[in-house]
Amino acid sequence: MEYGYFDDRCREYVITNPRTPVKWINYVGTLGFGGLVDHTGGALICAGDPALNRITRYLALLPASEFKGQTLYLRIHKGGGYRVFSPFFVPTLDPYDRFECHVGLGYMRIVSELYGLRTDVTLFVPPGEPRLLQDIRITNIARQPVQVDAVPVVEYTHPDALKQITNADWVPQTMQSKAYAEAHGLLVVAQYPFMLRDVRINYFTSNRPVSSFETDRRRFLGDNEYGTWACPLGLQAAELSSYEALRGDNIAALLHHLGTLAPGEARRLVTQLGQAPSLDAARAGIAAYRDEARVDQALAELAASWERYLSCLQAETPDPAMDRMLNIHNPRQCHTTFHWSRYLSLYQTGYGERGIGFRDSAQDVMGVVASLPEEARRLLQQLLGVQSASGAAMHQFNPLTMEASVGDAAERPDLPQYYSDDHLWIVLAVCAYLKETGDLAFLDQVVPYHERGRDGRPLAIGSVRHHLEAAVEFTRGDVGAHGLPLLGFADWNDTVNLRAGAESLFTAHLYGRALLELADLLRHLGDAGAASKYLAWHDEMKARVNACAWDGAWYVRYFDADGTPLGSRTNAQGQIYANAQSWAVLSGFATPERARLAMDSLYERLNTPCGIKLSTPGFNGFDPARGGITTYPPGAKENGGIFLHANPWAIIAEALLGNGDRAYAYYCQVNPAAKNDRIDTFECEPYVYPQNILGDEHPQFGLARNSWLTGTASWAYQAATQYILGLQPTYAGLRIDPCLPAAWDGFRVRRQFRGAVYEIEVANPQHISYGVVRMRVDGHPVQGNVVPAFGDGAAHHVEVTMGHPA
């Protein structure tokens, strides 16, 4: 069963059957103002923070058929009565003649045909604007004239999203709406919780005369709410009650009489849902966006901003599903994770327990350093600001208040209250930013550490370089019985929570990788002494890892406090973990033979046609001594599931070892764009990576969940562009070092890098996987495989020939 198709020319995925197995969504705007819009027009909108300033009441846990946050009703006048339906399908579920939801770059466009009306609605947030627009066009495609009313509706939540759920007296007592009539029948309905009346209001308005409105949900649905969203009784009367709610469940429904449309005739209606300090402050913006030409211009600006964003890298490979991801959907998902971290999706519902994840965002930054360098730098600074002076880091923080916490560790006060990996990711992220941009001045920027005195002032500050050094120093000093890094509450794998004293091989490897990055940076800065110090630390950890963590055919993953290995053939469950193998390669710790053996073990024990499992066999029953991993049945999530985030690391490891065929096979098997014909098993959107897929120990093997907000986005993009296609930013320039499936003849990429454009053409005449024998830049032969950063704003032609050296 297919639910839609890719339209690569329009850079869209088009859903043609709204009954998708789970809701499919898209993102509009940014964390500053925006949110998610599902494929039936439901919208979860917030400003600055989904926990503390949420606007619409979208309850992801309701069935897909329910009204969520907002919808549009149309009303056809019929023999004294009305036919009421939603062109979004939900919540009225009328039989449609045509349904298309165009999942575009920063917009959703829903086109449907029902009862002789074609409705074409584009929902988007103009770049940088605090408003969601709905550009609605209604056309009579029947042979008879038709009299039509349009009633867009939003339902508000209390801005404190959790309070809305937990306090059903205080919240409704505070919620208020007020209508402001304007010239020409226009109307703005303002809404606020009482305490914010004078500082922050939401508003809903349109660019056509409103004959009546409703602000109280109970009146709109009718019959003490035994009227439903599928059939609101309020829409059976000629007019809404125009009642200004002083309490209760606040909505804004605006009734527009569009008049009689002759066959072929169309009407356009633009709505705005926005937020402002006051209505007066909002008036100019409201007036501007009532102008349809301004709306067209805003949509064009949105398209231009995405064009700029995507133009950073465009590839043409022999694989259309790969091109589709690399040129459109994967960078779009990187944009999304960069803006939303793990804060707001249908799965990570933004009620505040999460916020911005330190390690999550550090990895997200790595997916956008080329396309959003300034924003990346700002987020890096913010992250460095929640690093402790000790070098470790807080696990997450709230973007509005900057209040930081230790995350889930707080639930287990008996365990260490820090994650052993968090702070190390920032080293990788900052170095990725520096290699991309060459902005070495960033290293000298002074950023406060997290700790504050009673007066709120930072207790310690340090340059960015100092922060990075503090990070590796923390880990060097925080080791256990084998000299390996202590696990803390957890490492990258949130769910293995062992008694204090346990050691983590993942953190050891991440530390190793961070040391290599630092050494490379310091060498470039001319500080050979510091570089060799870090390389010596690398050797030291490498020796410890190889002395104690080799299990015969793979590396172990942890040692518990008693020194028992986990991820060893001696274990009944969790005998082998993917990350312990891939990261042994990424860290440079694995010797060449062990690297090959470890990656072959991963292939034999962990690979499935749907992706690489995180570990195997799954734990089968709760074991508090192992932690969260044992709360899942075998095959789910971290317990033997296919945790997609870890798949690109195996791709990178295989590429580093020169195995282009396997790297590419690993890439293809998790490419969502290649699953469009397997949706009944996969269920999630085929245009984004999900976080997890059930593994083969689970009866629902192949089922995906937690789409959108996952580190998979950034790492899949890095794996494909930097390791398979091999375009690696370095301090000296752009290194081109592909690791391809041998069958490929080559590929082309247009890549912007430090202010110049490189038209790169790679030829693979001998059908090998790696090795560059010749490179020409603008027709001139170049030594080696690093293209210098010309920074001249011009386009340069780079011809690369792969081959074995003579």
Return the closest-CA partner of residue 556 out of 496, 467, 627.
496
- Min separation Cβ 510 and ligand GLC, Å: 11
Please give the size of the binding site for ligand GLC, defined by CB under 6 A.
13
768, 803 Cβ separation under 8 angstroms: yes
The phi, psi pair for 705, rounded to 5°, reads -150, 170
Closer to ligand GLC by CB, 115 or 340: give it: 340
Closer to ligand GLC by CB, 390 or 710: give it: 710
In degrees, to the nearest 5, what angle opens at C-alpha 239 toward C-alphas 238 and 242? Answer: 170
- Min separation Cβ 802 and ligand GLC, Å: 35
Q: Could you identify the residue written with the tokens 């309070």? A: 163
Residue 770, token pair as written in the block: 């790696």
Task: Show the site string, 698-737: x = touches ligand GLC by CB under 6 A, - = not.
Answer: ------------xx--------------------------
- Min separation Cβ 427 and ligand GLC, Å: 16
Assess 342 for contact with ligand GLC (CB under 6 A).
yes
Closer to ligand GLC by CB, 437 or 616: give it: 616
Q: What is the DSSP string of 578-601?
A: HHHHHHHHHTT-S-HHHHHHHHHH
Distance CA 188, CA 192 (A): 13
- Min separation Cβ 647 and ligand GLC, Å: 13
Closer to ligand GLC by CB, 357 or 635: give it: 357
The span of 119-127, 298-306, 353-361, 651-659 binding ligand GLC (CB under 6 A) equals 353-361
Closer to ligand GLC by CB, 332 or 645: give it: 645
- Min separation Cβ 360 and ligand GLC, Å: 5
The span of 250-258, 282-290, 352-360, 553-561 binding ligand GLC (CB under 6 A) equals 352-360
Task: Show the site string, 631-650: x = touches ligand GLC by CB under 6 A, - = not.
Answer: -------x------x-----
Instruction: Label residues 760-773 b or e (16+ Cβ within 10 Å = b).
Output: bebbbeeebbbbbe
| Cis peptide leading into residue 617 (ω within 30°) | yes
Distance CA 690, CA 702 (A): 11
Q: Collect all residues with Cβ–Cβ distance below 8 Å to 271 and sequence separation of at least 6.
A: 133, 134, 136, 152, 204, 205, 206, 254
Position of minimal CB gap to ligand GLC: 494
- Min separation Cβ 594 and ligand GLC, Å: 25
The span of 139-147, 354-362, 448-456, 605-613 binding ligand GLC (CB under 6 A) equals 354-362
Kind of pairing between the strands at 795-802 and 756-763: parallel
In degrees, to the nearest 5, what angle opens at C-alpha 221 toward C-alphas 216 and 223? Answer: 105
Assess 494 for contact with ligand GLC (CB under 6 A).
yes
Closer to ligand GLC by CB, 92 or 616: give it: 616
Distance CA 76, CA 299 (A): 29
- Name the strand (E) or helix (H) holding 53: none
Closer to ligand GLC by CB, 509 or 645: give it: 645
Assess 24 for contact with ligand GLC (CB under 6 A).
no
The number of beta carbons lying within 10 Å of the beta carbon of residue 513 is 21
- Min separation Cβ 422 and ligand GLC, Å: 9
Assess 289 for contact with ligand GLC (CB under 6 A).
no
258, 231 Cβ separation under 8 angstroms: no
Closer to ligand GLC by CB, 4 or 711: give it: 711
The 3-class SS string of 167-186 reads CCCHHHHHEEEEEEECHHHC
Assess 359 for contact with ligand GLC (CB under 6 A).
yes
- Burial of 8 per CB tally in 10 Å (0-12, 13-18, 19+): middle
Distance CA 510, CA 505 (A): 9
- Min separation Cβ 495 and ligand GLC, Å: 6
Dihedral Cα 81, 86, 91, 94, nearest 10 deg: 70
- Min separation Cβ 583 and ligand GLC, Å: 13
Q: How many Å from the N-terminal Cα to the C-terminal Cα in the chain? A: 52
Segment 370-409, which members bind ligand GLC (CB under 6 A)?
none
694, 641 Cβ separation under 8 angstroms: yes
- Min separation Cβ 419 and ligand GLC, Å: 8
Task: Show the site string, 454-493: x = touches ligand GLC by CB under 6 A, - = not.
Answer: --------------------------------------xx
Closer to ligand GLC by CB, 659 or 706: give it: 706
Assess 583 for contact with ligand GLC (CB under 6 A).
no
The span of 357-365, 426-434, 580-588, 770-778 binding ligand GLC (CB under 6 A) equals 357-365
Kind of pairing between the strands at 98-103 and 107-114: antiparallel
Distance CA 244, CA 215 (A): 6
Closer to ligand GLC by CB, 582 or 764: give it: 582
Assess 691 for contact with ligand GLC (CB under 6 A).
yes
Task: Show the site string, 652-681: x = touches ligand GLC by CB under 6 A, - = not.
Answer: ------------------------------
The catalytic residues are 494
Instruction: Label residues 163-193 b or e (16+ Cβ within 10 Å = b).
Output: bbeeeeeebeebbbbbbeeeeeebbbbbbbb
Q: Could you identify the residue written with the tokens 């009579």? A: 140
703, 694 Cβ separation under 8 angstroms: yes
Residue 756, token pair as written in the block: 């110049």
Question: Could you say which of 49, 129, 249, 360 contacts ligand GLC (CB under 6 A)?
Answer: 360
503, 480 Cβ separation under 8 angstroms: yes
- Min separation Cβ 357 and ligand GLC, Å: 5
Mapped onto helix, strand or coil, the DSSP state of residue 621 is: coil
- Burial of 463 per CB tally in 10 Å (0-12, 13-18, 19+): middle
640: Cα separation from own chain's centroid? 23
709, 698 Cβ separation under 8 angstroms: no
Closer to ligand GLC by CB, 486 or 727: give it: 486
Segment 122-161, which members bind ligand GLC (CB under 6 A)?
none
Assess 626 for contact with ligand GLC (CB under 6 A).
no
Assess 337 for contact with ligand GLC (CB under 6 A).
no
- Min separation Cβ 489 and ligand GLC, Å: 12
Assess 357 for contact with ligand GLC (CB under 6 A).
yes
- Min separation Cβ 774 and ligand GLC, Å: 41
The span of 149-157, 356-364, 459-467, 565-573 binding ligand GLC (CB under 6 A) equals 356-364
Residue 106, token pair as written in the block: 């920063």
Chain positions contacting ligand GLC, by CB under 6 A? 342, 357, 359-360, 492-495, 638, 645, 691, 710-711
